[in-house]
Each structure stands twice: as structure tokens, then as C-alpha cells.
Amino acid sequence: MGRVVLADDDLLLREGMASLLGRQGFEVVGQAGDATDLLTMVRETLPDLVVVDIRMPPTHTNEGLEAARTIREEFPQIGILVLSAYVEVEHATELLATGQSIGYLLKTRVTDVGEFTETLRRIVKGGSVVDPTLVHELVSARRRDDPLDVLSSREREVLALMAEGRSNAGIARHLWVTEGTVEKHVQHILTKLRLPETGDDHRRVLAVLTFLEGSGSQGGS
């Protein structure tokens, strides 16, 4: 399923997550209470995925984020999920811009075990996940031209579900359509938004960021 290192200074939360992931088939190969221990464990165990709190000792500001940056630079193949108690837009967008196998979720969103483990699996497989609450925080300035105007209502709906980190199969189940239909919608979205021909997963992230930006400008009107 995947080898995971967990990093959070809250021992009970960390132990609880380790137990949960173990029951879901993940192998937790290390737990860290601060960024220094996290980097040491990652270098020693080379996991498939790191789950890290954005705020860790000693200053509880952005030690987790700095550690995530270091891991991404040294081991770009390792998936990273950053958990945060707060919506921190700059940190989230900077992290997501690094490409595939990346995610940003609010801790309050981790309420459904099935959805959370599906999110982790998607990141391990190279996908990216954006917390939907960023929709209302990402852009404060209004934009004259909404890039989402080119999309149909169904395509907007699919894109909104992509922003929640759902896979094509997850979107298909939610909309009661076939996965093939969702794949066609996704390709139409990527084409209509004129996204560069890079890896499909990275293009999905760019599409989601476009959605968040457009939604943010609508929210400000």
C-alpha cells in the first residue's frame, strides 16, 4: 500500500493516525515530533509518503513546510501531504506549484477515513490534492475575465470535485456517471483552459488552481 513517515508534535494525534493508517494497509515506518527528526527519518527510511504538520517545534511557525521543501528537493519521488490547522494560502500555493505527489489539507477536513486514505493513495500514485476551503481564500482581487467562462456547468462541477482531491473514479461515483465520461470531461477542461502539455497530474493541479482563482474572484464580487 505504501510506506509512510508521520510528523506532528501532538503525540496522541500522531499515534492515532499511525494506528488508523496501519489498519488501512499502510506501513508507518517512522514518527517524528519535530522537523529535524522528520528529515533524519526520511533520509534513513526513504518512505513513499510523508504526512507533516505545517507548524512544528521549536517556533511552531513553518518548520513543517521548510522540512517539506527540503524533502521535495532531496527526494522528489516522495509524496508529501501537509496538514494545517489554518488556511495559509501562500504556503499552500507555493507547495502545490512544486508539481505532482503533493497535497495540502486542513486538519478539520480529515473526518472520513475512506476519503482520507483515498487521498493518501492518490498522492502516492503521483496525484495532487487541494483543500476546497482555499476556494474562498486564494484570490482577493477581482479579475475582469473569468477563465472558467469557457467551461460548461458540468465541467465546472467536475473541476470543483477535482479541487476536493477526488480521483476520476471518485468523481464518477459522486456524479453517477462512468469513469470514461469523467475522463472526457477532464480532458475537455484541460484543453479549454489552454494548459501547457505537461504531465496529466500537473495539468490537473494547474486546472484546480485556475478554478480556485476564478472562484475567489467570484466570491469577491
The pLDDT tens digits of the residues spanning 72-81 come to: 889 999 999 9
- Calpha distance 87→93 (Å, rounded): 11
In the predicted structure, residue 145 carries a pLDDT above the cut 60: no
pLDDT of residue 165: 78
Least confident of 10-14, 121-125, 130-134: 130-134
Least confident of 15-19, 133-137, 202-206: 133-137
Percent of the chain with pLDDT over 90: 32
Domains in the chain: boundaries: 3-130, 147-219
Mean pLDDT on 177-190: 88
Q: Do domains 3-130 and 147-219 have the same CATH topology?
A: no
pLDDT of residue 140: 40
> What residues contact 45, with CB distance under 8 A and at least 6 apart?
3, 5, 29, 30
Structural class in CATH, domain 147-219? mainly alpha
In the predicted structure, residue 71 carries a pLDDT above the cut 90: yes
- Calpha distance 89→216 (Å, rounded): 12
Considering the chain, what is the average pLDDT of its residues?
A: 81
CATH of domain 3-130: 3.40.50.2300
pLDDT of residue 61: 78
The dihedrals phi and psi of 121, each to the nearest 5 degrees, come to: -65, -40
pLDDT of residue 198: 56
Q: Which three cell numbers stand for residue 97?
A: 506549484
Mean pLDDT on 143-147: 55
Among 114-118, 189-193, 194-198, the range with the most confident prediction by mean pLDDT is 114-118
